Structure 1
Amino acid sequence: MTVDEIISFVADLGGVLAVRPAPGDGSPEISWGDTFFYYAPDGAVPTTGQPFATVVTKNYPGDEASGLDRPGAFRVNVAAGKEAFIRWTGHAPREPATTLVDPSTVDTVIAHPVYGTVGWLAVVNPGPRSAGTTRDLLRAAHQLARARHERR
């Protein structure tokens, strides 16, 4: 999967606002080139809450373990919910991992190296092994975000 394929897939889920920070739009330079997905059927960035998924194309301070400074590397980050987190990691978000996975491993669903403790999953460069799962996780995160929006 490419970054553009992921953005297109998520945008097609409906009610999605894909924010792509770029030079000149007032966003912090560190975020330029990344994509943040919100459930926002009105087209406005929600004033509360976080994106339900992101695609990052570089290391952030304190988040270098995935090695996104490699050519062509990117990571899909997904808030797919506690059940999905447990299914893919074998433990609850706040519990210690029983198996450690190198966060730079490509094409593998892992606990997010920084936000895993709050239930985020991640995939570096989704490929043949993880593309279908990545789509499933993105759908689940979208459904959870939509449900939160509808409760408000």
Structure 2
Amino acid sequence: MHEKNDKLPFATLITRDNEYDAVSNLNREGFLRLNFPVDKQTFESVFKELPNSKKLEAYMHLGIDFTNEDTLMPHPTYGSMIWVCIADPSRKTFEA
């Protein structure tokens, strides 16, 4: 059973690169990145191979290709806060 989290659901859509975040190459025509938090159990089950870190940008320098389309990934900056992202998600992935 998951504990209640009043901060969920919450999501952001990023539609272009900016000075703080350009790792997903969102300046491509029609691209966006969906960012949202998940519960800790889900994050750890999906990304069990990643090191457990509490630092910002903990996953940005691990060789993850954040330009991959339609792929669930830890958020490059806020992954340590159990946020995930999907660059250019398909409807099927979005619904899943």
TM-score by length of 2: 0.70
Name stretches of at least 5 consecutive residues in structure 1 with no aligned partner. Answer: 1-38, 40-48, 134-152
Structure with higher RCO (Cα < 8 A, 6+ apart): 2
1:93 touches 1:119 (CA, 8 Å); kept in 2?
no
Tell me: CA distance 1:93–1:69, structure 2 relative to 1, closer, same or farther (3 Å). Answer: farther
Greater Rg by CA: 1
Following the alignment from structure 2 to structure 1, what is the Cα–Cα distance between the partners of residues 38 and 29?
27
Cα distance, 1:100 vs structure 2: 3.8
1:1-152 aligned at under 5 Å gives the runs 52-90=10-48, 91=50, 94=53, 100-127=63-90, 130-133=93-96
SS at match of 2:34: strand
Cα distance, 1:63 vs structure 2: 0.8
Cα distance, 1:103 vs structure 2: 0.4
Runs of 4+ in 1 over 4 A off after TM superposition: none
Name stretches of at least 5 consecutive residues in structure 2 with no aligned partner. Answer: 1-5
Task: Say how many residue pairs are matched.
Answer: 85
